[in-house]
Amino acid sequence: MQDEELIAHRAAAAARRRLEAPGVAVGITEDVIRDQVHAFYGRVRADSMLGPIFEAKIDDWDAHLAKLCDFWSSVLLMTGRFKGAPMPAHARLVGVGGAHFAHWLEIWRGTARETCAPPAADMFIARAEMIARSLQMGMAMARGELPPVRSAAAGEADQHRGRQDEHPGQDKGRPASDA
Ligand code: HEM
């Protein structure tokens, strides 16, 4: 394939991808993303729990907002504009945990409901909830905080049950539902 043909082919494929992007069907555009992102971070900056965390890290708010618009544009419009790395950026945040994420999501949901039409708000909210979950998992893993797959108590119960299976009938007190 000639260079120009290849370029045209890639441009057509990118245009097709954008038409099939999840946000398109619910009316999300770059302007909608801009309104949501700017309104949300306006609230976050004024928030007593989250504001200081952001102010400690972000020197250039215009650049941060542009980056977050690129992020949401990549997620919902598949433009591929975002080039950052959210996981390490959040793993570095000391003392940020579940309560902060719950509050972040609460402000995000409130902003989306006020800023966007319901189908677009639903999509912003569903995607943010999914990403927040995976960021929290990644942060817990980076900090070595993930619990074992099974609790120690469950492991002990299994061992006990194993012994009972070797000597059936000795634990008459075990409830039937635990069988
Ligand atoms: C408690 C919740 C959260 C806090 C306190 C928080 C805080 C921050 C801070 C301080 C930064 C800048 C980090 C730096 O430049 O070193 C950042 C970056 C970022 N955040 Fe969050 N964040 C939270 C949740 C989320 C969620 C749920 C999302 C996505 C749905 C998100 C998306 C991003 C993105 C895309 C960046 C840019 C990463 C990069 O520079 O590559 N954040 N966040």
Query: Which CATH number fits the domain that encloses residue 84?
Result: 1.10.490.10
User: Which of 64, 83, 90 should be mutated for ligand 1, with most atoms under 8 A from CB?
Assistant: 90
3-class SS at 135?
Answer: helix
Q: Is residue 177 part of a domain?
A: no
Provide the percentage of residues in the chain whose pLDDT is more than 70.
80
Domain assignment present for 59: yes
Look at residue 121 and tell me if it is in a domain: yes
Atom of ligand 1 nearest to the CA of 131: 30
Contact 114, 105 (CB under 8 A): no
89-99 confidence digits (pLDDT tens): 999 999 999 99
Cα of 27 from ligand 1 centre, angstroms: 25
Give me the number of domains the chain comprises: 1
Q: Does residue 116 surpass a pLDDT of 80?
A: yes
Distance from residue 66's CA to the centre of ligand 1 (Å): 13
Q: End-to-end alpha-carbon separation of the chain, Å?
A: 67
Owning domain of residue 130: 15-143
**Ligand 1 proximity of 131 Cβ (cutoff 6 Å):** yes
The atom of ligand 1 lying closest to the CA of 93 is: 10
pLDDT tens track for 1-41: 678 888 888 888 777 767 789 999 999 999 999 999 999 99
* Two structure tokens written together for 13: 């494929």
Longest dimension (CA), the chain: 81
Looking at every residue in the chain, the average pLDDT score rounds to: 86
Q: Is the pLDDT of residue 168 over 60?
A: no
